[in-house]
Chain A
Amino acid sequence: MRNRPSIELLASARAGQLPAIGRLLTRAESGDAECRPALDAIFAAAGRAHVVGITGVPGSGKSTLVAALTAEIRRGGRKVGIIAIDPSSPYSGGAILGDRIRMAALAGDPGVFVRSMATRGAMGGLSRGTLEAVDVLDAAGYDVVLIETVGVGQDEIDVARAAHTTVVVSAPGLGDDIQAIKAGVLEIADIHVVSKFDRPDANRTMADLNGMLSLGPELSRRAGWEVPVIGTSSEKAIGIDELMQAIDRHWQSMHQSGDIVARRTQINERRLLKAGEEIVRDRFIRQQDGKVGELLGRLDARATSPHAAARELLSALQVE
């Protein structure tokens, strides 16, 4: 298993062998050159799954909600892939990935695949390799892929450009009325959730969100889709079925309006840019002692500017 070629693992993954899926995800995440042809094949085979981003500040109850939502989706027979992302330490580069704890009840279900990923220095809430991981689960036959992301302020943005449907989770009493006003957070949601809805102050949070959505029709209505605010309580099993139905309705709405085509193109544009950035960044890092070192010397002496130096570097890197 350890050293099987990626193309072989792909066949096993599509046949539903979990360790093969797990190994492919590892290689996709580390960007192994050996895995590239398999990843290209996986991208060609993917595109069927409904990708749903679930984001919100730490403590908003995302993981618990994801587990409850998954159980609800499973009742209808669809297979669910979950990618749970937690932050890497900026000091050590390590991470504690603890989202599985909240998903323990899903453990025996063969129709659920949970993978933990660390951000590994990526900004924007998604980790490098997240979207390749989504492709792997998509190609392996999972009908819905949930991406649960680190959500801190504007970091939500990345998931909105990676998913077909973006769910923003706010918890009562966390000062989220201020959070939602911050540029970008309100606008990216296709669906708003107020979690922990059994709490007494939950109605206030819902009223605040509804109030803010009513301030701008462009915020609350896109391509014929009216953004709902749904109250959920994972503990009391309130609103979970409503959330699942809203997610499904959004999928149907995008197909009916044709917005799904624009969404897919937007996602691909983002991926194209990111892939380009990663290739250049990798080359840059490998050049540290060479051309980069020389340019740094000139920058320190103010003999060149960062912009001019970057252009020189790009031409020296002979990028593809």
Chain B
Amino acid sequence: MARKIRVILSKVGLDGHDRGVVTVGMALKDAGMEVIYLGRQQFPEQIANAAAQEDPDVIGISSLADAHMVLVPRLLKILKEKKVDIPVIVGGFIQPEDVDKLKQLGVAEIFGIGSQLDDIVDWIKNHVAAQAVA
């Protein structure tokens, strides 16, 4: 049975603009992945809880309301506390100066506005393949 890649996608905070994340979700589905979509206005505690239960390969956060520097670090902290060892990638409107800061905090990759869907798909596939060998 071929291994299926599972991805959680979620909006975070008081952010309801979901067209982008839904587009990414469709692209991942078309690439054969299983997308667990949490929806809009999710908070770090809910996302971490879902990650513990669903055990995805990657958690994808979409942030278009500029709360990423508060909510993403909080998510990383809660994931660590719950001993959920799953990489987080972030998309949306992320200022260039925040990219490095987020990576230093532990975000695996940033896919800001203008990112190619293929690049996101490839990153996830490569990540999962690297984990399998590890």
Chain A residues within 8 Å of B, Cβ to Cβ:
1-3, 17-19, 21-23, 25-26, 30-31, 88-89, 92-98, 100-101, 104, 107-108, 113-116, 118, 120, 128, 282
Contact = CB atoms under 8 A, between A and B. Distances in A.
A104 B45 CA distance: 12
Contact of B53 (A18, A30, A101, A118): A18
Interface string B76-102: 000000111100000000000000000
Contact of A22 (B4, B38, B52): B52
A210 to B, nearest CB: 37
Contacts of A93: 2, 4, 32
Q: Give the interface centre of B38, B53, B134 by most chain A CB atoms within 10 Å.
A: B53
Given A2-B85, A100-B38, A21 B32 contact: no
B19 interface: no
Nearest to A1: B85
Contact of B49 (A30, A89, A94, A107): A107
Contacts of A26: 6, 55
A120 B3 CA distance: 11
A282 B36 contact: no
A92 B1 contact: no
A118 B4 contact: yes
A1 B50 CA distance: 17
Contact of B45 (A88, A98, A100, A108): A108
A95 B35 contact: yes
B38 A101 contact: yes
Contacts of B29: 89, 92, 94-96
Nearest to A89: B29
Contact of A94 (B30, B37, B134): B30
A118 B84 contact: no
Q: Which secondary structure dominates chain B's binding surface?
A: mixed
Contact of B37 (A2, A19, A96, A120): A96
Interface residues of B, number: 35
A279 to B, nearest CB: 12
B83 A19 contact: yes
A97 B37 CA distance: 6
B39 interface: yes
B66 interface: no
Contact of A116 (B25, B33, B39, B54): B54
A19 B131 contact: no
Given A26-B55, A93-B32, A108 B37 contact: no
11 contacts: A18-B49, A19-B82, A26-B6, A89-B30, A94-B34, A94-B35, A95-B34, A97-B34, A97-B36, A100-B50, A108-B46
B36 A19 contact: no
B67 interface: no
A10 B36 CA distance: 24
A108 B44 CA distance: 11
Given A96-B37, A108-B49, A118-B4, 8 more contacts: A1-B85, A2-B131, A2-B134, A31-B1, A94-B34, A96-B26, A97-B37, A115-B53
A2 B85 CA distance: 7
A265 B63 CA distance: 50
Nearest to A18: B52
A2 B127 CA distance: 14
A98 B28 CA distance: 14
Contacts of B38: 100-101, 104
